[in-house]
């Protein structure tokens, strides 16, 4: 009985630790200091897909604010009752069901989950690599990569984003966040590589 209780408590703590939001999502050094596995995952994406670490992290910041099980807010019925969600977007990278299935099929990473950070950043790396190959967007251009991420490759080719002023503002925001993260990362990279920070 006592052993079962301890296992339950430990399990709850582990689950909480895996999905808890970083204490300061606007500082990439703090994020990686608190989550060394995330740092390793982001570096792996950079090595595997060629997408810079700061770009990947800026996408996660915009899409979910580093909340593992993030979903779009529900609509309301009669201003009170919860209605359906506007899309099937889920997880750190806010990936739609059909897009996630396409990723699984193309990468054969069938055990991947959208609420797993390592899998989510790999998806972002794969998608942005695909945008680079298909659309010719630089892997460092967070703004244009985000427009392709949001609109899909076909939508980007049709320039559907030009009719969405709000999306252009968001893409500029992602670019600024990527630049901020890059500057921060340069200041703490050596410490992170040594395995400690402050």
Say how far apart CA 188 and CA 198 lie, in whole Å. Answer: 9
Q: Parse the chain into domains and list their residue ranges.
A: 23-194
Local confidence pLDDT in tens for the 198 residues of the chain:
444 434 444 444 444 344 589 999 999 999 999 999 999 999 999 999 999 999 999 999 999 999 987 765 544 544 564 544 445 688 999 988 889 989 999 999 999 998 999 999 999 999 999 999 999 999 999 999 999 999 999 999 999 999 999 999 999 999 999 999 999 999 999 999 986 544
- What pLDDT, on a 0 to 100 scale, did the predictor assign at position 93? 92
- What pLDDT, on a 0 to 100 scale, did the predictor assign at position 20? 80
- Under DSSP, is residue 90 helix (H, G, I), strand (E, B) or coil? strand
Please say whether the beta carbons of 27 and 184 come within 8 A: yes
Say how far apart CA 183 and CA 83 lie, in whole Å. Answer: 42
- What pLDDT, on a 0 to 100 scale, did the predictor assign at position 194? 86
Say how far apart CA 48 and CA 31 lie, in whole Å. Answer: 21
Say how far apart CA 143 and CA 122 lie, in whole Å. Answer: 19
Say how far apart CA 68 and CA 45 lie, in whole Å. Answer: 18
pTM of the model: 0.83
Backbone phi, psi, residue 195, to 5°: 90, 15
Q: Which fold, 23-194?
A: Lysozyme (1.10.530)
- What pLDDT, on a 0 to 100 scale, did the predictor assign at position 88? 62
Q: Which residue blocks in 50-162 are alpha helix, DSSP H?
A: 53-64, 97-107, 117-135, 142-157
């Amino acid at each position: 009985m006592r052993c079962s209780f301890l296992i339950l408590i430990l399990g709850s703590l582990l689950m909480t630790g895996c999905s808890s939001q970083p204490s300061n999502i606007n500082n990439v050094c703090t994020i990686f200091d608190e989550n060394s596995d995330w740092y390793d995952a982001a570096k792996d994406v950079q090595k595997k897909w060629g997408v810079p670490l700061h770009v990947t992290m800026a996408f996660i910041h915009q899409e979910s604010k580093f909340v593992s099980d993030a979903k779009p807010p529900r609509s309301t019925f009669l201003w009170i009752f919860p209605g359906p969600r506007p899309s099937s977007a889920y997880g750190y990278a806010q990936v739609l069901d059909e897009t996630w299935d396409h990723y699984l099929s193309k990468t054969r990473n069938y055990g991947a989950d959208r609420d797993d950070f390592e899998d989510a950043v790999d998806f972002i790396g794969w998608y942005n690599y695909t945008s680079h190959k298909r659309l010719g967007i630089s892997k460092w251009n967070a703004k244009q990569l985000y427009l392709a991420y949001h609109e899909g490759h076909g939508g980007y080719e049709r320039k559907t984003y030009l009719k969405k002023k709000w999306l252009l503002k968001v893409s500029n925001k992602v670019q600024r966040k990527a630049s901020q993260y890059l500057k921060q990362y340069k200041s703490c990279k050596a410490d992170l590589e040594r395995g400690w920070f402050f």
